[in-house]
Amino acid sequence: MAENEMSESGAQPAASGPITIEHLREIIRLCRENDIAELKVKHQGMRIYVKARTGPAPVEYVTTPPAAPLPVAVAPAPETAPVSGTPAEIESEESKYVVIRSPMVGTFYRAPAPDAAPFVEVGDAVRENTVLCIVEAMKLMNEIKAETRGVVAKILVENAQSVEYNQPLFWIKPE
Amino acid sequence: MAAERDSLDYKALQKQLAELTLGRPLYYFARVDSTNQFLRSLPPHQWRHGALALADHQTAGRGRHGRRWNDRPGMALLFSLALDAARPPAVWPLLTLGAAVSVCRVLEGQGLAGVKIRWPNDILVGERKVCGILVEKAKVRSGLVLGVGLNVHQTLDDFPPAIRAHAGSLRLCSERPFRRSDLLVAFLKDFEKVFCLWQESEDTPLLDECRARMATLGRLVHLHCHGRLVEGVVMDLDRDGSLVLREPTGIVSRWHSGEVELAKWTED
């Protein structure tokens, strides 16, 4: 599907030559069409950061609402807009960590069952194969692994909340 | 009414499976905790795309969040398939719908009428659930396990009272006898085609087949999700298989999780 091709090929514009305004337009268009919340592209020394606007907007689609009551009038808008420049503070803080992102739209679970202990807590040491959480979509339980060695620095999503494709879930401080 | 059973003839089955691309190697268990769990735990050197785990009885068949799948020995067709998923996780849930389409086609091929999919992973005949599907990630990277539990020979007495009103089996839906091995081979033949389409990103025909068999399309449903109850009319399946509802407020929402019931069922 498009959003996946997006992350694999769309995020790597033309192998040669700089990123042009056409590439940028295409990236924004793909982000908008595929409800991508956030995207970073690094290419030949140039860095682009695209983030979806989250304010109210007259859009029809609401993604799976979170556990908390959803104000009906305020729909999370999958409308993307280019951000001029780089949000330096976020960039520098995030760059210290490995960011674990959701590979799919779904529901985020911190534990294997409602009455079970969470897979990990902040401060826990993790290895490549350590399961951090489950993202469930249509009853498919996808265990997300750390894929790196380090320590859980931050858990960015509450249990049983819906998550978007590519949404950051954890920050891992590498070993 | 005494329940009939049929035996799973391992050697005969192996011969039939030899002609298919899915179904080898075959692991047969008279009794196992869960066929999904068995395949999920296979170490990389034993993992094979197409491996099939088949059981006469599961002691810990699992549904969502560890819920038990009830069965008595020899009554249900219980199996799991190991699949190499070459596509990204965002489209893995489509395999659940694809498998549901295959189960429907097999049951229709056996002459059953009123076979429907209850999004995302149940098969109903009439308004009784006869089959559940559960896709899970294997330990092996990009490995998925597709589990199917199909009630074949049960009578109403075989189901616990709590689910008797909504549970069904093929025997309860039809006068004709069924053989579990025939149903299994028919499923594997059909699902081979479904899996090929999925691998080639040909999702549209699968979604169309699924829409045509949706028990709830165009109907008022209650969707239970994270303790919330949402009412709405099912408008469509989105291209990622998510459920599109029009809520009473007019808002159209897209759901990736939850349990769906026809609204009238909860009013009974």
- Is the residue at A156 inside a domain? yes
- The pTM is what? 0.77
- Is the residue at A100 inside a domain? yes
- Is the residue at A40 inside a domain? yes
Q: How many domains does chain A have?
A: 2
Token readout for B124 is 């109903």
- Is the residue at A63 inside a domain? no
- Is the residue at A68 inside a domain? no
- A152 and A99, same structural domain? yes
From B96, B142, B256, select the one nearest A164 (Cα to Cα): B256
CATH number at residue A157: 2.40.50.100
A111 inside 8 A of chain B by CB: no
What would you report as the CA-atom Rg of chain A, rounded to the nearest whole angstrom? 17
- A37 and A106, same structural domain? no
Between strands A125-126 and A140-145, the pairing is: unpaired
The residue assigned the tokens 């059973």 is B5
From A38, A56, A17, select the one nearest A101 (Cα to Cα): A38
For A108, nearest residue in chain B (alpha carbons): B257
For residue A68, the Cα-to-chain-centroid distance in whole angstroms is 20
A64 inside 8 A of chain B by CB: yes
- A168 and A104, same structural domain? yes
For the segment B211-253, what is each residue's pLDDT rounded down to a tens digit? Answer: 999 999 999 999 998 888 999 999 999 999 999 999 999 999 9
Residue B84, amino acid: D
Compute the count of residue pairs across chains A and B with CB atoms less than 8 Å apart: 110
Q: Are B119 and B214 in contact (CB under 8 A)?
A: yes
Interface test with B, best of A5, A6, A138 (most B CBs within 10 A): A138
In three-state secondary structure terms, A141 is strand
- Is the residue at A18 inside a domain? yes
Token readout for B6 is 């049929």
Rounded CA separation B182/B19 (Å): 14
- Contact between A1 and B66 using a beta-carbon 8 Å cutoff: no
Between strands A61-62 and B252-255, the pairing is: parallel
Predicted complex ipTM exceeds 0.95 = no
- State the SS3 of B108-149: HHCCCCCEEEECCCEEEECCEEEEEEEEEECCCCCEEEEEEE
Token readout for B189 is 């033949």
Rounded CA separation B74/B4 (Å): 9
For residue A170, the Cα-to-chain-centroid distance in whole angstroms is 10
Residue-level pLDDT at A90: 57
pLDDT tens for the 175 residues of chain A, in order: 333 333 333 334 444 566 777 777 777 777 777 777 777 776 666 667 777 765 333 333 444 444 433 333 333 443 344 444 455 555 566 678 999 999 999 999 999 888 899 999 999 999 999 999 999 999 998 999 999 999 999 999 999 999 999 999 999 999 8
Range of the domain at A140: 93-174
